[in-house]
Amino acid sequence: MRGGRGGSSVLQPLHRNLTNTPTRCDAMVVEPSPDWSVFKQIFADHWEAFQHAQPRYQTSYYNGLVAKMLACGNPEQMGYVEYRCLQCGQGTHRVAMSCKSSLCLRCAKVYVDNWVSQVSKMLHAGVIYRHLILTVPAMFRMTFYQNAAVVLSAFMRCGAQCLDDFYSTVRGKALKGGSITVLHTHGRNGQYHPHRHLLATSGGYDAQGARWEHLQYLPYELLRRKWQWHLLRMVRQTLKTEAINQLVDICFRKYPNGLVTNVQKGQVPSQYQSLARYVAKYVVSPPISMRRIDRYDGERVTYHYRSHRTERLEHETVTVETFIGRMVQHTVPKGFKRIRYYGVQATKTFAKVKVAIQAALAKVEGVVKGAVQIIARFTYRQRYEQSTGRDPLVCPHCQSEMGIWRIWHPTYGVIYDEGEVIKRGTYASSVQRAGP
């Protein structure tokens, strides 16, 4: 059902205050963290009831994801790194370890920054890159959801095969392209909508002629048909049921011009990092952000999104069970990698291939030049200072730089203790005190 109209409503008070109330999850007590949010509140209140209604999620894997998400930001639950001023002994700062749960909204921003840094180092200078989107027709979405463990990996591979086939057809000879491929499973409203975002080379390596072939123009209609053929062949070969065969035949008849794809128009400028950051939004962006949750009354959740169809702001009110379901359905099977590197972007052969591509590019006139700008990975210290305007590792009492004093983990206990090092007389002034 639809909720209110107009702009975002004011977030209503939580129906249950957990400020001083521990939350039980996966046989562990989760104390509310300093960044406790309405998103965590919903899971804390209704996760057990949701599992009872949806037995599919009654596993230690899902319980672990939820438990970590609820505990994230709480140093006593997740572990911490403690900094202390060794000059005056008064200044302290404790940093909670991140949970890295795929459900955690807190960790998403950090992951985006780290991913952009990584990707910026995996782009070939002088090569044109484009942003491509490969979609799955609505009739197959439930099939993908029910068979995620076997379909998703094959789904990632067939995209790379499609790209090489597409480039080779366009140029009329065998070309090896490359892509950094990202699996995305949700649309703007949180529904299950598997598709792929690719940072793809616009062209490929001709091994026979040791040349790089730039493709200034990508025929959109051909890509649609190629993607349809590769996707449906993958589905048919992976699942091998009569019902799937019939669905594939229906899909070919329903979409005679191929499946929906999208190709970025024009060339990518030399600031490749801007494109990487744009695509990064889709890499780890959760199905929802905190600013989009308008109201939670203990039984129903109202949130907003911008509709792809109307390009207008839509509000939707759903039960807590539906809301939780829309969030957890996007967690991928354990061990699955959402980001894959194919072709000339493959991580294992990247260094070797890079040399060959640079030599091949030297033979091509009119190459798009522009060195890839390497983006440094942001440290916790930098992120904190950007957010608050304050250096967290400068002592507020004497303005000296604080150093690492203790590292504690809930499983392994005290990993490092500067005080004990000093007591043993093994303290050295050369001990690194830089921030994480």
Say if 23 falls within a structural domain. Answer: no
| 343 CB neighbour count, 10 Å cutoff | 23
Say if 118 falls within a structural domain. Answer: yes
Average pLDDT over residues 5-16: 34
Question: Which of 276-280, 385-389, 404-408 has the largest mean confidence?
Answer: 404-408
Q: Rounded to whole angstroms, how far apart are CA atoms 403 and 395?
A: 10
User: What is the per-residue DSSP string for 2-38?
Assistant: B---SSPPPPPPPSS--TT--EEETTEEEPPPTT--H
Average pLDDT over residues 78-87: 91
pLDDT above 90: percentage of residues in the chain: 40
Name which of 69, 80, 55 is nearest 23 in CA terms. 69
62: helix, strand or coil: helix
Check residues 164 and 286 and name the one with the higher pLDDT: 164
278: helix, strand or coil: helix
User: What is the per-residue DSSP string for 321-349?
Assistant: HHHHHHHHTTPPPTT--SEEEEETT-TTT
Calculate the average pLDDT of the chain. 80
**Predicted local distance difference test score (pLDDT) of residue 20:** 36
**Predicted local distance difference test score (pLDDT) of residue 367:** 47
Domain containing 275 equals 105-287+330-361
254, burial (CB in 10 Å: exposed 0-12, middle 13-18, buried 19+): exposed
10, burial (CB in 10 Å: exposed 0-12, middle 13-18, buried 19+): exposed
Average pLDDT over residues 311-321: 92
Give me the number of domains the chain comprises: 1
List the single range of 143-152, 311-320, 419-428 with lowest mean pLDDT. 419-428
Say if 126 falls within a structural domain. Answer: yes
Q: Is 211 left (phi over 0), alpha (psi -120 to 50) or beta?
A: beta
Q: What SS3 string covers 177-235?
A: CEEEEEEEEECCCCCEEEEEEEEEECEEEECCCCEEEECCCCCHHHHHHHHHHHHHHHH
List the single range of 164-168, 280-284, 301-305, 319-323 with lowest mean pLDDT. 280-284
Long-range CB contacts for residues 233-242, cutoff 8 Å, separation at least 24: 233/158, 234/154, 234/155, 234/157, 234/158, 235/140, 235/143, 235/151, 237/154, 238/147, 238/150, 238/151, 238/154, 239/143, 239/147, 239/150, 239/151
Q: Strands 80-84 and 293-296, how do they pair? A: unpaired
Give the CA angle between residues 276, 234, 327 to the nearest 5°: 55
List the single range of 84-93, 176-185, 204-213, 366-375 with lowest mean pLDDT. 366-375
Sign of CA dihedral 48, 54, 59, 64: negative
**Predicted local distance difference test score (pLDDT) of residue 433:** 43
CATH of the domain at 164: 3.40.1310
| 124 CB neighbour count, 10 Å cutoff | 21
Say if 200 falls within a structural domain. Answer: yes
List 213's β-bridge partners, or say none. 204
Say if 346 falls within a structural domain. Answer: yes
**Predicted local distance difference test score (pLDDT) of residue 281:** 62
Specify the DSSP class assigned to residue 310. T
Q: Rounded to whole angstroms, how far apart are CA atoms 177 and 127?
A: 11
Specify the DSSP class assigned to residue 290. G
If pLDDT is split at 50, 70 and 90, which confidence band does 126 have?
A: confident
Say if 264 falls within a structural domain. Answer: yes
Average pLDDT over residues 224-247: 95
Say if 381 falls within a structural domain. Answer: no
* pLDDT of 71 over the 80 cut: yes
**Predicted local distance difference test score (pLDDT) of residue 245:** 95
CB half-sphere exposure, 157, CA atoms < 13 A: 9
If pLDDT is split at 50, 70 and 90, which confidence band does 382 have?
A: confident
List 2's β-bridge partners, or say none. 316
277: helix, strand or coil: helix
